[in-house]
Homo-oligomer: A and B are copies of this chain.
Amino acid sequence: MKITVLSGGVGGARFLRGLREHVRALPGDHEITAIVNVGDDMWLTGLRIAPDLDSIMYTLAGENDEVRGWGRTGESERVSGELKAYGVGWDWFTLGDLDIGTHLARTSYLRSGIPLSEATARITARWPLGVTLLPATDDEVETQVHVDGGSMHFQEWWTRHRAALPALSFEYRNALQASPAPGVLDAISGADVILVAPSNPVVSIGPILAIPGVREALLAATAPVVGVSPIIGGAVVRGMADACLAAIGVATAADAVAVHYGPRSRGGLLDAWLVDDADAALVPSIEEAGIAAGAVPLWMRDLDTSAAIAAQALAAAARL
């Protein structure tokens, strides 16, 4: 079975780890490919930072910091201390030393003309991840947030301002000039199942869909597309997706996000959508919108619950 997952960072990472766990227990050979958002990527002090690719890599490698919720375990900040002393970089954005190792490896490849997808393949080869990571594009597509008086990189809005500045709109800068990375369209067209991770619809999944060719490939895919809601009981599970949804006029509700993605039968993304048991009452309205829906436990508390969610997503796909 070939499973392709559209994914952002932390939520996507946990979902992918659960999916890998579930699939390992299944008979037969299975391949998981993650198409990963690059809209959060940026240049900072000469380094190319790719937060979502790295969050997934660290999580699947077992190297993520479970307590802090992001970055490497056993991290230190010796280099960042120097950058602050020199007054270089963003003083509200601290890079860990181990993390800088990853950024330097990536930057080194990019500066020598190797595209992000190949750089990612070489970097992830360090660990047996059990999941192939494909950046959505090799081009530099960066999410800009328009606020009153100007715009800024998503990372500045998210980390520095804690998403507290009202967002007027999100722009996937350069997306229209970008192309899917090698392997992305094949991973969609050749998949047996396509899953949409419980990632931020606006700034994680949105930038992937904005790459010309991706939506078309998803519409043409023979595989069913099943999404997992990142909203439970009218609240975001993690992060500040509500501030993003509000900016694009979508309610922070599991059914609203499903309708935002839209039914594939009418040019949208989804064949099916999983909501949490707490949102079971929303199932009829989602189905009325043309999307098969089911209510299951969606809290990714640990590896077992994440694996169970992945199993439910595959079961929903099998029912289609």
Q: Given that A47-B46, A78-B98, A97-B78 are contacting pairs, would A88 and B104 also be in contact in the complex, using a CB cutoff of 8 Å? A: yes
A88-B111 Cα distance, complex, nearest whole Å: 13
The reply to whether B111 and A82 contact each other, CB–CB distance below 8 Å, is no
Q: Kindly identify which residue among B43, B79, B102 contacts A101, using a CB–CB cutoff of 8 Å.
A: B79
Main secondary structure of the interface of A (DSSP, over half): helix
Interface string of A76-114 (1 = CB under 8 A from B): 101111110111110000000110111011011111000
Query: Is A126 among interface residues, defined by CB-CB distance under 8 A?
Result: yes
Give the size of the chain A interface in residues (CB under 8 angstroms): 31
The reply to whether A101 and B126 contact each other, CB–CB distance below 8 Å, is no
The reply to whether B78 and A45 contact each other, CB–CB distance below 8 Å, is no
Closest to A48 in B: B46
Closest to A111 in B: B46
Q: Given that A88-B104, A88-B105, A105-B45 are contacting pairs, would A97 and B111 also be in contact in the complex, using a CB cutoff of 8 Å? A: no
Query: Is A123 among interface residues, defined by CB-CB distance under 8 A?
Result: yes
| Minimum Cβ distance to chain B for residue A104 (Å) | 5
| Most B Cβ at <10 Å: residue of A82, A89, A97, A104 | A104
Q: Given that A45-B105, A46-B104, A88-B108 are contacting pairs, would A98 and B82 also be in contact in the complex, using a CB cutoff of 8 Å? A: yes
A85-B46 Cα distance, complex, nearest whole Å: 21
| Minimum Cβ distance to chain B for residue A311 (Å) | 33
Say how many copies of this protein the assembly contains.
2
Chain B residues within 8 Å of A45, by CB: 104-105, 107-108
| Minimum Cβ distance to chain B for residue A201 (Å) | 33
Chain B residues within 8 Å of A98, by CB: 78-79, 82
The reply to whether B78 and A108 contact each other, CB–CB distance below 8 Å, is no
Q: Kindly identify which residue among B47, B109, B123 contacts A104, using a CB–CB cutoff of 8 Å.
A: B47
Residues of chain A touching chain B, judged by Cβ–Cβ distance below 8 Å, are: 43, 45-47, 76, 78-83, 85-89, 97-98, 100-102, 104-105, 107-111, 122-123, 126
* 16 interchain pairs, CB-CB under 8 A: A45-B105, A45-B108, A46-B47, A46-B110, A78-B98, A79-B100, A79-B101, A82-B98, A82-B102, A82-B105, A85-B126, A86-B102, A86-B122, A87-B122, A87-B126, A100-B100
A-B residue pairs, 3 tightest by C-beta: A82-B101, A46-B107, A78-B97
